[in-house]
Amino acid sequence: MKFLIVFVALFAIALARPEVEIVRHDSEVGPEGYKFAVETSDGTKRGEEGHLKEADSALSITGSYSWVDTEGNTHTINYVADENGYQPEGADVPKA
């Protein structure tokens, strides 16, 4: 009986969450690189741009992502990913 009550409660919680929808999606791909941006109805955003610095080198990528927590605060992480690795910056990134 306890299992049934817990199952029904969890099922009700799962149904109560509103579905997140994509409200914006932009994408461009070309021979020199790419860029895209996505935004969802819950305030989550992600954008990225990548290009080759030189023909025989690794991609250089810059981007950011953000989300809104349960208290309504927006958190943003900006990053660069290149021959030096992934380098995030933001208030939520732990300092070494």
- Structural domain tally of the chain? 1
pTM: 0.75
Q: Is residue 2 part of a domain?
A: no
Degrees to nearest 5, angle at CA 75 with 69 and 80: 145
Q: Is residue 62 part of a domain?
A: yes
Q: Is residue 71 part of a domain?
A: yes
In tens, the pLDDT along 54-87 reads: 877 788 999 999 999 999 999 999 999 998 999 9
Contact between 36 and 24 (Cβ < 8 Å): no
Residue 28, domain extent: 20-89
- Which residues lie below 8 Å from residue 23, measured CB to CB, with a gap of 6+? 39, 40, 41
Q: Is residue 95 part of a domain?
A: no
Q: Is residue 6 part of a domain?
A: no
Element containing residue 82 per DSSP (H, E): strand 74-82
Q: Is residue 1 part of a domain?
A: no
Q: Is residue 41 part of a domain?
A: yes
Which tokens hold the place of 7?
């199952």
